[in-house]
Structure 1
């Protein structure tokens, strides 16, 4: 497979010069933009956002080629040990682009691929225990992730310190209610922990995802609650994916498909669900 290199748009790295035994590639086009990351286990070798001024379909392959040229031995993609990709929910077009790219690479390189939930990947950027359940961490904040599902709906992921994640497609009214509850919970936790600051981190509710779905509610939340700016979501995909690869939770390239959580508008129209 031939890739054409384009200039780097954004880069993030934990330690780009550190040697690694087996790198994996993480891909996501959850929203209008996207990102890619090279991982060494759960550690980041390098990660970059796609050019916000270009279509993901045009920018994804060149950015992968750029990372390979700079960080893989000999610049060869066949040095990869696996691929992780965000399969949804998210943008219908973006997910198709990301999944098709991952399928093609996995099949061509004959390496394993894992399907990662988009909302869980975003939350994993601040909840390391989501990527590795046995990972010891003193701070495991509650996280509310919201992504636009259009048509007055929101893809919501609620990740609490207790219990399993709650991932669903909900109405705008339900989203506003849940967001309001998380804001109130955060305020109550801050008030109750004034004399016990060591307890407040686990009670804080962190907000992540698509800022527009938060702003549309007109609800005011504390600036420190928002952690959605400047995050490269492919890093979360890579962290979750690294653990899935380690556990052998792979999907065959042929069977890899997006998980939209709902049929597309075209599918609904064809089935007569919408007129």
Structure 2
């Protein structure tokens, strides 16, 4: 499945970049012209494997790059984590291989930041005057990858327990802030639509905190577009990563690594 967001492959006005993300069970890729999405494609579970991803990238270049050559790209942006361990490895390995072989600069983008980057579009659709975004992704084993993005503040990204996640989510919904201690004795005195919520809907639903449709902006997003937007900004600032230094950012060791170190069993 693909989504074409422009009508011509040869109207480039800025940096041409490829954005890749396999944050969850599915992924997406996007060809960018600066911050504009030329074309974005979903990666189903069968396409997110290394071979399937390579085919999709090759086909996108064939149809959308004027010279049909990936070497004409100005950069590659990739979501390095947190997220699915397998998906991140596939995406990072693909970006590393392309970047090294074609001598193209690589930009490593945080997954939660990339998702939050898509919130302004969703806010506009819902006419919600939100000043903050709370992103949650499943980390399994009773944990959540949490990203809190508040206007004028640095991003707050962490791995939290299900209990802490529920507390923060309740606070964000009822008080307009994800800082539990900031709530006063009248929890509904703040604008309940201050926060927009994004990420894996399951991690929101399973803790039993009700979120209104106006506050939820996480469905149907091709996250590669967010990776691409941030990637272009970082590329312009020279914030690139050498291919051989590019690694996934899992935020925590895998179960196998924990077991090997004696942390489990």
- Fold-level similarity (TM above 0.5): yes
Match of 1:111 in 2: 104
**Alignment RMSD:** 2.3
Shift in Å, 1:159: 0.3
Q: 1:139 and 1:250 mapped to 2: Cα distance?
A: 33
Is residue 28 of structure 1 aligned with residue 18 of structure 2? no
Shift in Å, 1:191: 6.8
Report the 3-state secondary structure (helix = DSSP H, G, I; strand = E; otherwise coil) of the residue aligned with 1:32. Answer: coil
Gaps spanning 5+ residues in structure 1: where?
Answer: 1-8, 129-137, 194-199
**Among candidates 10, 31, 53, match of residue 60 of structure 1:** 53
**Among candidates 155, 158, 180, match of residue 165 of structure 1:** 155
Judged with a 3 Å threshold, the aligned counterparts in structure 2 of structure 1 residues 171 and 248 are, in CA distance, closer, same or farther, namely: same
Moved more, 139-148 or 164-173: 139-148
**Among candidates 165, 180, 185, match of residue 175 of structure 2:** 185
Match of 1:85 in 2: 78
Alignment: residue pair count:
249
Judged with a 3 Å threshold, the aligned counterparts in structure 2 of structure 1 residues 143 and 53 are, in CA distance, closer, same or farther, namely: same
What is the CA deviation profile of residues 206-241 of structure 1, one whole-angstrom value per residue up to 9, with x for unaligned ones? 110011101111111111111111111000000110
**Among candidates 240, 245, 261, match of residue 251 of structure 2:** 261
Shift in Å, 1:189: 10
Judged with a 3 Å threshold, the aligned counterparts in structure 2 of structure 1 residues 55 and 23 are, in CA distance, closer, same or farther, namely: closer
Q: 2:188 and 2:166 mapped to 1: Cα distance?
A: 21
Report the 3-state secondary structure (helix = DSSP H, G, I; strand = E; otherwise coil) of the residue aligned with 1:11. Answer: strand
Match of 1:19 in 2: 11
Judged with a 3 Å threshold, the aligned counterparts in structure 2 of structure 1 residues 223 and 139 are, in CA distance, closer, same or farther, namely: closer
Judged with a 3 Å threshold, the aligned counterparts in structure 2 of structure 1 residues 23 and 190 are, in CA distance, closer, same or farther, namely: farther
Judged with a 3 Å threshold, the aligned counterparts in structure 2 of structure 1 residues 249 and 94 are, in CA distance, closer, same or farther, namely: same
Match of 1:141 in 2: 131
Shift in Å, 1:273: 0.8
